[in-house]
Amino acid sequence: MQSFEENLKKSLDNKAASLDAATLSRLHRARVKALETSPPWWKQPAVYAPVLGSAAAVAAYLLLSTYYLDSNLIQTTVSSDPVEAMEIISLDVDLELVEELDFYDWLAQQEDQEKDA
Amino acid sequence: MQATLCFSSMETQIKADEHTRRRYLEQFLAQVERRALIMAEIATSSREEALDLVQDSMLAFATKYARKPQSDWTPLFYRILQNRIRDWYRRNAVRNRWKGWLGFPEDNGDPIQSAPDPHSVLPEDEIHRDESGDAIAKAVGKLPLRQQQAFLLRIWEGLDVAATAKAMGCSQGSVKTHLSRAMASLRGQLQEYR
């Protein structure tokens, strides 16, 4: 004996199987149209979304890290010792001396060593 | 030379994959289209509206969702169809409200469209079979929309509770509740099929 659910399923299956030719033809046309409009996989945005998302994330990371490093560099150059920075700015000396301060410092040390010797 | 051969081989493989994908898609749509039509027809009581809804659903599925894994296709397609049916209900409700306010007579549809198709005459046994299907379709059509969906997707289409919930856009508990109510109502209406 079939269950109530089986009877219902069977009747609905029969109804679906006995659709008229005109309806089946329209369903077929709808299917063909849907397949025609379905883009190939390489044209679907879903394919590129992960790649583009990752690329955007990497680009944003690089941009932010570069900006962060630059701002840190500027901060350390300018504000690590503000008194020294103000001295350098206010000194009436040749700019080349300021830029090559390490070299002149080393030169002075060499001269001192020669004197000591 | 080798690079050209390699590229040509890749291109052939891509075309073959695309051909296979389209064949699977066509098979899937052919497999679900009849049931989808009956579901939409039960919900709208109109073959024309049902055909439009199924066509819209197929287009939306093939255009936007066919890249999803094939195991998800069935609940996904029915989700699209049920959303279309729900939208149709809303539009219809608004249209009927406006007609009520403005005092227009109720639209009974085009009499030519609703006339019986003379080519669909079937032998006597098939007529009886059709009548039973129609009686069940009418009984299901009287159910509230969510109960219809739960019954048709879970019992007729044979989706499991999780897939039915996915297709209906609700929790598994709601599916069980809607289905239980639908079955109780159908048992009351269709005593002769018990």
pLDDT > 50? residue B121: no
Lowest mean pLDDT, pick from A42-51, B40-49, B154-163, B172-181 = A42-51
> What pLDDT is recorded for position A79?
53
Contact A38 B66 (CB under 8 A): yes
> Which of A3, A11, A19, A47 to mutate: most B Cβ within 10 Å?
A11
pLDDT > 90? residue B181: yes
**Within a domain: A12:** no
- B162 vs B95, more confident: B162
A-B CB pairs within 8 A amount to: 111
Distance from CA of B18 to the nearest CA of A (A): 7
A20 touches chain B (CB under 8 A): yes
Distance from CA of A50 to the nearest CA of B (A): 14
- Range B117-148 burial, b when 16+ CB lie within 10 A, else e: eeeeeeeeeeeebbebbeebbebbeebeebbb
**Domain extent for A112:** 82-117
> What pLDDT is recorded for position B60?
92
Mean pLDDT score of chain B: 82
**Within a domain: A113:** yes
Distances (CA, A) of A37 to B35, B72, B132: 22, 20, 38
Q: Which residues of A touch B130 (CB under 8 A)?
A: 14-15, 18
**Rounded mean pLDDT, B163-179:** 93
**Rounded mean pLDDT, B167-179:** 93
The string of pLDDT tens digits covering residues B7-21 is: 677 667 766 677 788
Count of domains forming chain A: 1
Contact A30 B25 (CB under 8 A): no
Which residues in chain A show pLDDT less than 70?
Answer: 1-2, 40-48, 71-81, 88-89, 91-95, 97-98
pLDDT > 50? residue B179: yes
DSSP state of B104: P
**Within a domain: A116:** yes
Distance from CA of B65 to the nearest CA of A (A): 9
Q: Is A62 exposed, middle or buried (0-12, 13-18, 19+ CB in 10 A)?
A: exposed
Q: Packing angle between helix B172-189 and helix A4-17, nearest 10 degrees?
A: 90
Asked whether the beta carbons of B137 and B39 are under 8 A apart, the reply is no
The string of pLDDT tens digits covering residues B50-108 is: 999 999 999 999 988 888 888 889 999 999 999 999 999 888 888 888 877 777 665 55
**Within a domain: A28:** no
Contact B155 A16 (CB under 8 A): no
**Within a domain: A104:** yes
Q: Which residues of A touch B59 (CB under 8 A)?
A: 30, 33-34, 37
Give all domains of chain B, ordered by start, each with its CATH number. 1-106 (no CATH), 123-194 (1.10.10.10)
**Spatial separation of the C-alpha atoms in residues B90 and B80, rounded to whole Å:** 15
Question: For A93, phi and psi rounded to 5 degrees?
Answer: -125, 170
**Within a domain: A46:** no
Q: Which residues of B touch A5 (CB under 8 A)?
A: 155, 183
What ipTM was reported for this prediction?
Answer: 0.71
**Rounded mean pLDDT, B109-121:** 52
